[in-house]
Chains A and B, each alone.
Chain A
Amino acid sequence: MSARVFVVDGARTPFLKARNGPGPFSAVDLAVIAGRALLARQPFDAPDFDELILGCVIPAADEANIARVVGLRLGTGFGVPAHTVQRNCGSGLQAVASAYDRISAGRAQLVLAGGTEAMSRAPVQWALPMTRWLADVSRAKGGLQRLRALAGLRPRYLKPVFSLLLGLSDPVAGLSMGQTAEILAHRFAITRAAQDDYALQSHRRAAAAQADGVLADEIETAYEPRGAFYGHDDGVRPDARPDRLAQLRPVFDRGYGTVTSGNSSQISDGAALLILASEAAVRRWRLPVLAEIVDHAWAGVDPAQMGLGPVHATARLLAAHGLRTSDLAHVELNEAFAAQVLACQAAFASADYARDELDLPAALGPIDDACLNPAGGAVAIGHPVGATGARLVLHLARSGRLRAGAFGLATLCIGGGQGGALLVRGGGL
């Protein structure tokens, strides 16, 4: 019998939009900021964790196994093992799922899990020919040989490789993530206007949530050594206007596309962390329970249509628990692109899609618009790829929308053609 797993607390940094150039914090800094605030209010200390699991997609060169670096800086001491998971956009959710697995299997009681990403600091690298040239130079012996090796440098070797751009492209399908969204928009006939409308709604919902203080519980102010500070997600635009969105030019399919920077998720820096606890740990430390993690599921799809991943993962998860989409009180479906969310909604609603792709007799049914991303999503808030999955679960757990017994779902599409979904239930022990 598997043990029950609870979300007892969580916190995140504000998501900071990347604005041309490295942002103020490294990925480690971000996780430490969220983690320190989280730990400050716990009745236990950092060394009491059994494990630390973080998702991160593009760590900097000095952030190998970033989870361990974060753990040591948070003061876990040497004794708490830590590992980093990488499942592209699903990394943060994978970290939570892995923590769930560890606790439910009885291998851990108290786990710090989440994700961190400083996309603005993604390394700029040199391509292979440059690496070869450097190796030749360092291997050369004697003046003449060295001179000859030095002369081997070609201007094209100096062309930088932006790991962020490569990270956001699918090496198998040869498409950028935006292009996969264009494919979905075409397939489900989603117009530019519909995408822009959805983007606008995301900004308005996020702005309203900021104004209502719904997010204040989950966000910790990030302070920079220079003396600047960031108290909220700075990509949200309360002043977003339809006419301005309509003016933006498509970026991924420059000629005739519909996906713009305005109706896509933002490139951001941020970290989100959760504390997961077994029933024993909840009792031992007298922890408040925010929600229970019920299960998670993962699915693979065509990389060129990776945006449909949530539909497949959700279908599996709901089937395993005998639930329907209408049973879900709160769904966080990551907004990689407005077109992709709308495509998922269309696929949920389509009987044809259910029959052809999911092997189901009837449509899953669309998700009630009011329950879907009620406080906005990545289009407004930003999408630091490694952290987003954890943010979705954190928001589910902390937003207070889940009454006891009600189900909530966090799901996202994953570059490379996958989907992940995690089911939570409101209420206490």
Chain B
Amino acid sequence: MALLDIKNLSLYIETANGVVKALDKISFVLNEGEIKALVGESGSGKTLVVKAIIGALPDYWQIKADRLTYKGQDLINMSYEQRRQIMRRDIAVVFQEPTSSLDPSVKLGDQIEESIPPEFINKGWFWERNKQRKDIAIGLLHKVGIRNHKKWMNCFPHEIPSNVSQKIMIAMALASEPSVLIADDSTRSMESTTKTQVLRLLVKLNKTKNLSILFVSHDLLSITSIANSMTVLYCGQTVESGKVRSLLKRPLHPYTKALLDSAPSFQISLPSKSPLKALKGTIPSLQNLPTGCRLGPRCPNARKECVVAPPMRNIQDHQYACHYPLHFPSHKKHATNEMVLKSAPEEIAGKKDIYD
């Protein structure tokens, strides 16, 4: 069942140079019990997508979407109060920078206790309630792998190392026992031991609590180690989406290919001291976005048709937005869904081994 269903999410930002389309028809689905990765380099709009989901964008930015639903409830048009209730109980977010996401003037213990929903406290007297709240907070810290709870709970956020504060952020996110956890680049700037701990924790939660996780990152290695499916973003556009294994094995979009090529861990055959492949140029600024497919100016396969934005196409679970996908028998113009299905059933059957 789809928990988060996003279809053609666009975000318009008013700048001094006119309206900029920061997100252009982003679509993906987060299913129940799934770990979904949202991949893209810095500036590709990952965090904007997260903020659009949780409603943290400024009011004067315009969001348009065919669908932005949680369990079938429309998140955009619902009242503030309804959305708040959903955020309180069902969706939890772990932000990029843990230290700035914690209130600097409140002790950590109090902040964790604050994030426990009042419904969880059922004792009568206030001292019993305080005790219960504290016990739940300590339990949460143990759950995320912090043994020394006494030491950290009396600290202020600036006094603790960032890996501990990241774990505390996760503990706070788990306090309301959510069904969706959005981890916005939570392992950024972590050294590998801590990163592994956090990733292991996420997988464990996914397995034991059936927690669905939207894992936003640019770290391909950790994505491939934990995620089931992934969606690749480039400059505010969905580029490719599908099961992690099939994307790794056979990327259809040139950008996905370039992204994978830039990570040496995925190229076993890479000879030593050979230059890494990378696309020329940089991600365009929001003021100068190319029309059509935004990869156009940097794409090795770009043709005339690429000035028109390609629609999303499906091959089985694999979606891509490209006029001239890689690994295709012939560069047929407008190789639509039906054409692929009609013309090449045997071809897909032949590629089965590639897919799995």
- A joins B in a complex: no
